[in-house]
Structure 1
Amino acid sequence: MAILIINRYFLGRNSTNDKMESLFNENIIFVFFFAMIAIYNYSDLKEYQRMAIIYISVYALTVLDIIGVKLAIALLGLSLFCFFEIFTSDETKFKILVNPIYKIIDFIYISFSQYAFGGMCCALFMLRIKIPDIINKQEMILKILSFLFMVWTLTSTLQQKYVLHTFGEMYKIFTYFPINKIKFNEKLDEACSILISIEDKAYYERKSYSFLSPKYILEILKDKIRNQRGSKKIACVFSAGNRFIRNIFDESRGYSTIPMQLIRSLGIKRGYNYKYRRKIFEILYSRMFFKGIERMLKEDQVAQRQYFKKYLIYIYFHKVNTFLGDATFSKFLNAFDMQYSKKNEKDIYDCSNEGIFIACMGLSKRANSITKANIEYYLQVIDNVELDPDVVCDMVDKMMDRPYDGNYLQ
């Protein structure tokens, strides 16, 4: 009886081993994800190092004809989506990005902008391209090109020239200044009016967070068409559309709304000069990030959530940089209380409206262009706020007298 039980035990063990062997030998997808999870959970590796190992693994499997190109891209896409959206250690992302479409957009943007997923796809496709044999040894040439694409992909992934902050890092400033603790008073209203009059006149009326609002785009195109002279109507429309597209990525224009300016200050850790990636980031994430925060406030029934748009401007004053003469201030309020060894103690309530106006002009590097001759021209755009032109001009004249020593503005 004992012998029979022992035999059945070892037969069962052998049967289980056979099944496991069959699983690992025949189910390449299971083996692949088992290996990817093992790589991703290895704590000594940085995220970009893990991505590089995954790329090398998939490329090797394709080169050895173990998997096809379509399956390789599908496995890569699925594994990267899991790593960025499911297995991520960024807990704040789970709270802000709950919409499945937003998760897909986030995965696609990070994959292509930060981890050169497009280059990886090109490297894989080069291994399987079939063209007429008009060039001797064309297969070898394509393999060399594929290898070069692979090298470029790995280099871009490991160099990390364009890097985004995590959602947790982006959200940190909102925990420093919670909406239910903000004083939404007349002084803040005036500061908001100055900023939106200079930077984003349609801020309160616009429902969207970026310029991708049909009403906003139509207004821009109408203005451009009205400014066209001596052209036929159809030509005017095409010319206006062409100028609009080019201006989106123009450094001096760009149609950046206040939320777009804020999200780039919050989100871009490295690579600000990559203007196409940056502009796409501003357009996509200004909606996804701020919509997510707005939803969280509503779900938690947080006090003063009805002032959310003003709240974003308040955060803007604590985060977005400005320029006065040759000086660059990492955040707006540093122009009023320059501190290196301790926390800035001034808030927007402590700043004069004239100083706020100058700092807002500095956002587009126009602060030291203000003179007594043109001050009225600049002030005419400010709505609902009284400003003293003499105080503004006097402050502009003196703001660079004591660089890096005390306050630049009052």
Structure 2
Amino acid sequence: MLDYLFLIIFQYGILYTILSILLTSFKLSYFVSTIVHCPFEVIRFFFQCISIILFISGIVKITSEKFKIKTINELNSVFTPSINMVSFGKIDSDIFNMLIDMEDKTYRIRLNTYNFFSLEFINYKIKQFRQFRSMVERYQKTIVYIKATRHIRGYSTLEMQLLRSIGIVYGYNIIIFRKIYEILYTTIFLKSLKSYYTKNNYANHDRYKDFLLYTYLRNVNTKINEKYYPKITDFIGNDVQSWTKEKCYIAFCGLPHRNINSDNILNIHPEIIDRYQLDKKIILKSMNEIKM
């Protein structure tokens, strides 16, 4: 039902048609005419003109379809191989943890929710903000908080990033529609998919969060040295055993499509390099290879 409502409202613009029909109501025209003390025929004519404009706008909205999303079946086809076919034991756990530290520190904390419109996310952010209140300088506190909470480029959870990458056919730049889609479908689809795996007792169903990260790497795009990669695995490789932390670090740095190159790659997340003991020489070598 939610999927249906989203489609008819945001993709097909049904509200234009509904408003167009409502404005042809005699009762509405009469009611307005008594309030504004204007002749009934004048109000009725005015509403009819607006109704025609809205109806035409609705037709244009339906035919132009500036915002389009994939169907549930199309979304489901992306999650292949299935969760029971993924060899999680062959994947370095530091790779997933590094992605979480760089993109969404709430990921493991949000056990049952998938977007920022949740109490789990809000509680985490409140606790995080309280830590900054102990800082003496208000200016320093503000700068650090903005950087830490990522308000500079707009916050999206990893699940929201995944859904918009695999689910939006076109209309990505229509931010309001996109955000509503991300919030709604992370619940509609991802929650239902987890329930399906659990109820049918799929192998690895207890590693659903890891499965989403695995799918993320196979579907989300990145940009490195001005070179666009449709999928992160186009850069790090499809074989999970060939994934290195250094190449993954480079790919994750390019996720917001920031301008990364050999000159700044080591300065974007120096704390990640230290925490995961990444080899700086390998990172720079990989960056130089991209230029060739």
TM-score class, shorter-chain normalisation, is 0.7 to 0.9
Q: Deviations over 1:275-323 (max 9, x none)?
A: 1111111111112211111111112111111111101111111111111
Q: Give how far 1:383 is off.
A: 8.3
- Mapping for residues 343-354 of structure 1, pairs under 5 Å: 346-354=238-246
- Structure 2 distance, partners of 1:230, 1:386, is 33
Q: Give how far 1:326 is off.
A: 2.3
In structure 2, the partner of 1:220 is: 125
Contact 1:197/1:382 (<8 A) preserved: no
Moved over 4 A (4+): 221-231
Question: Is residue 163 of structure 1 aligned with residue 77 of structure 2?
Answer: no
Are residues 367 and 189 of structure 1, via their aligned partners in 2, closer, same or farther at CA, if it must alter by over 3 Å?
A: farther
Structure 1 counterpart of 2:125, one-letter code: I
SS at match of 2:169: strand
In structure 1, the partner of 2:166 is: 266
In structure 1, the partner of 2:208 is: 308
Contact 2:262/2:288 (<8 A) preserved: no
SS at match of 2:163: helix
Between 1 and 2, higher relative CO (CA 8 Å, sep ≥ 6) is seen in 2
- Structure 1 distance, partners of 2:98, 2:258, is 15
In structure 2, the partner of 1:386 is: 277
SS at match of 1:269: strand
SS at match of 2:100: helix
- Structure 1 distance, partners of 2:273, 2:3, is 37
- Structure 2 distance, partners of 1:160, 1:167, is 18
In structure 2, the partner of 1:117 is: 14
The TM-score with structure 2 as length reference comes to 0.83
SS at match of 2:106: coil
The TM-score with structure 1 as length reference comes to 0.60
In structure 2, the partner of 1:199 is: 103
Are residues 362 and 377 of structure 1, via their aligned partners in 2, closer, same or farther at CA, if it must alter by over 3 Å?
A: closer
Q: Deviations over 1:307-355 (max 9, x none)?
A: 1110111111111111113222211111245xxxxxxxx3333122111
In structure 2, the partner of 1:88 is: none
Percent of aligned positions that are identical: 24
Are residues 167 and 397 of structure 1, via their aligned partners in 2, closer, same or farther at CA, if it must alter by over 3 Å?
A: same
Contact 2:66/2:170 (<8 A) preserved: yes
Q: Give how far 1:221 is off.
A: 4.8
- Structure 1 distance, partners of 2:68, 2:275, is 40
In structure 2, the partner of 1:177 is: 81
Aligned length: 274
Structure 1 counterpart of 2:78, one-letter code: I
Are residues 205 and 219 of structure 1, via their aligned partners in 2, closer, same or farther at CA, if it must alter by over 3 Å?
A: closer
- Mapping for residues 111-150 of structure 1, pairs under 5 Å: 111-128=8-25, 129-130=28-29, 131-132=32-33, 133-134=37-38, 137-150=42-55
Task: Pick the structure with greater CA Rg.
Answer: 1
Contact 2:225/2:261 (<8 A) preserved: no
Q: Deviations over 1:381-404 (max 9, x none)?
A: 4686321122212322442x23xx
- Structure 2 distance, partners of 1:223, 1:178, is 35
Are residues 168 and 294 of structure 1, via their aligned partners in 2, closer, same or farther at CA, if it must alter by over 3 Å?
A: same
For 1:365, which of 240, 257, 264 is the aligned residue? Answer: 257
Q: Give 5+ residue unaligned stretches, structure 2.
A: none
Q: Give how far 1:204 is off.
A: 1.1
Contact 1:358/1:367 (<8 A) preserved: no
Are residues 290 and 384 of structure 1, via their aligned partners in 2, closer, same or farther at CA, if it must alter by over 3 Å?
A: farther
Contact 1:164/1:270 (<8 A) preserved: yes
Q: Give how far 1:186 is off.
A: 5.7
SS at match of 1:211: coil
SS at match of 1:319: coil
